[in-house]
Structure 1
Amino acid sequence: MTAVGSDLWQRLAAYEIGPAATALSFTDRLARENRWDRTYTQRVIREYKRFCYLAVIAGHPVTPSDAVDQAWHLHLTYSRDYWERFCPQALGAPLHHGPTAGGGAERTRYYDQYAATLKSYEESFGKPPPGDIWPAAARRFGVDPKAFRINPADAIIMPRRWARWLVLAAILAAAMIFLAGRMA
Structure 2
Amino acid sequence: MEMRERLSSYAIGPATATFSFEHRLARENRWPPDFAARVISEYKRFCFLAVMAGRQVTPSDAVDQAWHLHLTYSRDYWQRFCPDILGCDLHHGPTAGGKAERSRYYDQYAETLKAYEDTFGESPPLDIWPPAARRFNVDPLAFRVNPADAIVMDRRWLWPSISAAMAMLALAAVLGAYFA
Please tell me the TM-score bracket, short chain as reference.
over 0.9
Specify every segment of 5 or more residues in structure 1 that has no aligned partner in the other structure, as ranges: 1-5
Distance 2:112 2:32 in 1: 26
For the aligned residue pairs, the C-alpha RMSD in angstroms reads 1.6
Candidates 144, 152, 160, aligned match of 1:157: 152
Which residue does 2:22 correspond to in 1? 27
Which residue does 1:115 correspond to in 2? 110
Q: 2:48 is matched by which residue type in structure 1? A: Y
Which residue does 1:15 correspond to in 2? 10
Structure 2 counterparts to residues 5-154 of structure 1, below 5 A:
7-154=2-149
**TM-score normalised over the length of structure 1:** 0.91
| Corresponding position: 1:168 with 2:163 | yes
Distance 2:169 2:99 in 1: 46
Distance 1:168 1:37 in 2: 30
Distance 1:21 1:53 in 2: 26
**TM-score normalised over the length of structure 2:** 0.93
Q: CA deviation at 1:180?
A: 5.8
Count the aligned residue pairs. 179
Moved more, 18-27 or 154-163: 154-163
**Which structure has more RCO (C-alpha within 8 Å, separation ≥ 6)?**
1
Q: CA deviation at 1:92?
A: 0.7
Q: 1:126 is matched by which residue type in structure 2? A: G
Distance 2:37 2:55 in 1: 27
Distance 1:28 1:182 in 2: 54
